[in-house]
């Protein structure tokens, strides 16, 4: 039994050694340095993936974590190109192996774009604190222990830049204050798993966006060199989180329900209707349109009925006028006949009277 266990442990170490093209002794040293005893190695998929992550972080070899999805890489390239500074918070760095995936995907892009991921000293301090926190899971403590070395290696390769705002307080307030100070002049992205912090950044972006709407007038020098007008400067500030595979999902806040949600990296503002509110408002709009249509149809029907009544009344009046005209004509003829008859009778009586007198 013990021989079988030794063979199993040796197989894990040998597999890792073959993958990273180093000696078994080097793998044992790396694992022991991370607090993982070679005698306690497990062969399940989750454990093997964790050992692979530890060795990759220690040896700074994580090309196997990169993706072959060209469409996603183009999207990532566009995002890195747009933003002047990309800050990475504590949680994404120790969230499984997602940070390794993200770095592997973005390393070439960062070098080509001459940009670096920015990790604050406050974040490094949090990592140091997590590695000795007994309340955290062992894998979290191990990641918090090995990531600082990886970050410093990436800094030497000019993929990461360690920065500090020079203020005290917790890291979240530190970041928000930093973004408030520089967000009016730079396009900023924050990568964090903290939903509350992401919401603060998105609301800050909306606030700064409102403040930056007014275009400043041209200076005397700008007028002197013939500049006609100053272009409106629009800056973007977004918050994203890493998901499985190290991919980015952006946080948005719905202006209707005030709830936040994650979606793809659309080129839009951070205050965007969520799907539920969009469907609800669309249904309400459709109901309003239906009510307006029914109202218009009722108005048209009422107008048609009114026109019909007017036409019927006009026809009645026309018939009445026609009847009165005929009656008047008959009466006039009767009156004329009576008049002429009376004249004729009078003349006849006069003739008779003359004849009698003779």
- Indicate whether 47 belongs to any domain: no
- For the chain, what is the radius of gyration of the CA atoms? 45
CB-CB contact of 228 with 240 (8 Å):
no
- Indicate whether 5 belongs to any domain: no
- Residues contacting 122, CB < 8 A, separation 6+: 164, 165, 170, 171, 174, 175
Domains contained in the chain, number: 1
Note the pLDDT tens digit of each residue in 308-356: 888 888 888 887 777 777 777 778 888 888 788 888 888 888 888 888 8
**Confidence check: pLDDT of 8 > 90:** no
The token pair at 110 is: 């960062």
Query: How distant, in Å, are the alpha carbons of 107, 268, 342 from that of 345?
Result: 131, 107, 5
Note the pLDDT tens digit of each residue in 46-70: 999 999 999 999 998 888 899 989 9
pLDDT grade for 9, boundaries at 50, 70 and 90: low
- Indicate whether 305 belongs to any domain: no
For 158, the domain range is 60-273
Average per-residue pLDDT for the chain: 84
- Indicate whether 358 belongs to any domain: no
**Confidence check: pLDDT of 2 > 50:** no
- Indicate whether 104 belongs to any domain: yes
CATH of the domain at 117: 3.40.50.1010
- Indicate whether 16 belongs to any domain: no
- Indicate whether 28 belongs to any domain: no
Note the pLDDT tens digit of each residue in 235-247: 688 999 999 999 9
CA distance 43 to 12: 7
- Indicate whether 67 belongs to any domain: yes
pTM of the predicted model, to two decimals?
A: 0.73
């Amino acid at each position: 039994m013990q021989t079988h266990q030794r063979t199993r442990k040796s197989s894990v170490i040998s597999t890792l050694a073959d993958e990273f093209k180093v000696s078994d002794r080097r793998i044992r040293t790396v694992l022991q340095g991370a607090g993982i005893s070679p005698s306690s190695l497990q062969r399940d998929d989750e454990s093997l993936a964790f050992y692979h992550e530890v060795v990759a972080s220690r040896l700074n070899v994580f090309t196997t974590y990169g993706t072959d999805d060209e469409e996603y890489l183009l999207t990532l390239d566009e995002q890195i190109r747009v933003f002047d500074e990309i800050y990475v918070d504590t949680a994404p760095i120790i969230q499984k192996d997602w940070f390794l995936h993200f770095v592997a995907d973005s390393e070439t892009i960062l070098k080509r774009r001459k940009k670096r991921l920015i990790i604050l000293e406050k974040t490094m301090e949090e990592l140091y604190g997590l590695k000795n926190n007994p309340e955290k899971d062992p894998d979290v403590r191990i990641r918090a222990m090995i990531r600082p070395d990886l970050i410093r290696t990436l800094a030497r390769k000019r993929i990461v830049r360690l920065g500090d705002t020079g203020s005290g307080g917790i890291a979240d307030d530190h970041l928000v204050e930093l973004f408030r100070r520089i967000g009016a002049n730079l396009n900023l992205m924050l990568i964090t798993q903290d939903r509350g912090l992401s919401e603060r950044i998105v609301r800050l972006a909306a606030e700064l966006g409102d403040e930056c709407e007014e275009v400043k007038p041209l200076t005397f020098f700008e007028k002197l060199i013939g500049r006609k007008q100053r272009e409106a400067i629009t800056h973007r500030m977004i918050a994203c989180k890493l998901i499985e595979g190290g991919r980015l999902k952006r946080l948005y806040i719905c202006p209707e329900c005030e709830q936040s949600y994650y979606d793809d990296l659309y080129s839009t503002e951070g205050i965007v209707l969520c799907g539920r509110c969009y469907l609800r408002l669309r249904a309400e709009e459709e109901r309003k349109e239906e009510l307006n249509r029914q109202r218009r149809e009722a108005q048209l029907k009422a107008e048609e009925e009114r026109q019909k009544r007017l036409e019927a009344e006009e026809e009645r009046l026309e018939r009445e006028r026609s009847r009165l005209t005929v009656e008047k004509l008959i009466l006039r003829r009767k009156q004329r006949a009576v008049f002429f008859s009376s004249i004729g009778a009078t003349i006849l009586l006069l003739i008779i009277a003359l004849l009698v007198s003779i």
